[in-house]
């Protein structure tokens, strides 16, 4: 910035700054917002269920967490589901769904400015009963 001086009527020097050729850099900090998705999914027993949680906007880094009926899920090899977290999205996959998987699944995303969540209810398609 070029510095200039002006003299007011009382004889005091006042600093003025010439802003003509100055770059101004700023960053916008955003609370995370998730993309819209299905609120209900009905599938057959034995099928594979996947829920995709995508960051639509928000400042990085973000942190993802999944829950089943309000209880935090942790992925591990000995369970029927898998959680994959990336920089701006996360997926929950249930490999072989059965009746114990019927639940409300929620993806939470957070950063230093706030949080957001999205839920999907997973249900099982009914089977027809034959009465003779």
Return the closest-CA partner of residue 100 out of 124, 67, 125. 124
Q: Which residue has the higher pLDDT, 127 or 30?
A: 30
Q: What confidence tens digit (pLDDT) does each residue in 84-124 have?
A: 999 999 999 999 999 999 999 999 999 999 999 999 999 99
For the four alpha carbons of 38, 42, 44 and 46, in that order, the dihedral sign comes to positive
- What would be the CATH architecture of the domain defined by 33-124? Sandwich (2.60)
Q: What is the mean pLDDT of residues 32-58?
A: 94
Q: What confidence tens digit (pLDDT) does each residue in 18-43 have?
A: 555 566 766 677 999 999 988 999 99
* pLDDT at position 17 over 90: no
Q: What is the mean pLDDT of residues 62-90?
A: 91
Q: Which residue has the higher pLDDT, 117 or 3?
A: 117
Q: Exposed, middle or buried, 107 (CB in 10 Å: 0-12/13-18/19+)?
A: buried
Tell how far CA 51 is from the center of its chain.
12
Q: What is the mean pLDDT of residues 68-73?
A: 95
Domain assignments of the chain as residue spans, ordered by start: 33-124
Q: What is the mean pLDDT of residues 52-64?
A: 96
Return the closest-CA partner of residue 109 out of 27, 35, 29. 35
* pLDDT at position 63 over 60: yes
What tokens does 128 get?
């027809």
């Amino acid at each position: 910035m070029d510095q200039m001086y002006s003299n007011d009527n009382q004889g005091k020097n006042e600093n003025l700054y010439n802003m003509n050729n100055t770059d101004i850099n700023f960053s916008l900090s955003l609370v995370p917002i998730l993309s819209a998705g299905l609120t209900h999914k009905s599938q057959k027993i034995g099928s594979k269920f996947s829920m995709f949680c995508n960051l639509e906007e928000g400042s990085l880094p973000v942190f993802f967490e999944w829950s089943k009926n309000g209880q935090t899920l942790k992925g591990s090899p000995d369970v029927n589901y898998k959680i994959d977290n990336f920089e701006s999205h996360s997926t929950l996959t249930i490999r072989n769904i059965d009746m114990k998987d019927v639940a409300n699944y929620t993806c939470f995303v957070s950063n230093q400015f706030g949080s957001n969540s999205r839920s999907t209810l997973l249900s099982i398609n009914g089977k027809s009963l034959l009465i003779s």
